Structure 1
Amino acid sequence: MHEMERYFQRCLDASYTTESNDADWAVERDGDELLILFEHSRGSLDWLNNLNFHAVPYREMHPIWQVHAGFLSVWQAAKPAVAEAVEPYLSLPPAKSAVKRVTVVGYSHGAALAVLCHEWLWYRYPFWRAVLNGYGFGGPRVLYGCPTPSLAARWAQFRLLRNNDDPVTHLPPRAFGYCHVGNLLQIGDGATSGLDSHRPENYLASLRARNL
């Protein structure tokens, strides 16, 4: 199994903890790698948050930037528990920690949370920036407005994967002022379209076809 397929499968198979606001997260250690995982939409509250797409300021970060209100509210519900789980590993620099690299992974709704978690880790743990990576599979747009180059650089090691014309990756519409961050990787051979392209089995098939 290749790397991106392995990460996606781990995200699908994880045993998630649910916080308030249906914030589903998991932290797993795999040898010297720390994995932080976020689950896809699975209930009506998730969808209400997905559709709560007015922009709000993310006041905890510097500089303050604008973000999808629903995704921010879910991330803020998960963040205290995630912080408690990762602190024993990340409070020390990689040379002194039991783990040597950190990977954030999310699918669909969870990919939006992965975007926010990745940036929080970058901001909170500067010693770990060189070994911090992120993957968002079928993720929607999260940031409102065009980020400055210095802000966009926080996601330099985050990859957003889009299978064919997966409609979720086009929401909220760019015309509403939202944008993707990180590096967009297009996969798929055109065999699926619409919401079929968003299905996990079709992401897996496209990853396998590309040996990713």
Structure 2
Amino acid sequence: MTETSTSDTRERLIAAAADLIASAPGEDFSLRAVCDAVGVKMPTLYHFFGSKQGLIEAVIEHGFDLYLAEKKSMEWSGDPIQDIRAGWDAHVAFGLTNPGFYTLMYGKVRPGYSPEAQSRPSAILLSLTERAAEQGRLVVSPEQAAAHILVTNIGVTLRQIILAAPDPALSAAVREGAIAAITGVGVPTNNPLAAAIEIAAAYPDILGKSETQLLVKWLRTLSTNQQS
């Protein structure tokens, strides 16, 4: 078997398992069915993955590849808090469109274990909260902010998958609550400029994207000069 055909067989096994998982979200799948779909014997599957768990982890990796490909195609605003909002909505949309993948990626809980692939989107989120912290827009650490956003994002997505009913109003309400918790918006503050920045970033459609970015830049400059 050539290197190319070996790689192709492995990818076809992952694709077959992914198709079975997608067709029956939350249900178990048969290794025999995966092998039959590809036209190989069980020893071939074990050669590539070692066990059923090994195949599942390869499918999880495949799911994160799909998820991150969608993330990369997103149009980022350049404003970290607004991009957290956009990332939240993309996360929920991916889960509702791909419930089979999503429940493997985030819904299968085993104490002390998390798929290695989870670290990739988590790193993107942490980079956004770190930028927000650099701009003085967080009331918690970047690590705590990222964790807060991630766990609430996963929770609201799993709830909608379990109920098999999209609930955009719930998602938006939980999203804004999570963002308020990490930015302090809605909490009495002696820094009205910081509050104005978050309000402007939350509603970019009112002034327009370019105008909002310019306004936030001006407000941030005023806030920085006020503190110096």
TM-score tier (shorter) = under 0.3
Kindly indicate which of the two structures has a greater share of residues assigned to strand.
Answer: 1
TM-score normalised over the length of structure 2:
0.24
TM-score normalised over the length of structure 1:
0.25
Give the number of the structure whose alpha-carbon radius of gyration is greater: 2
Kindly indicate which of the two structures has a greater share of residues assigned to helix.
Answer: 2
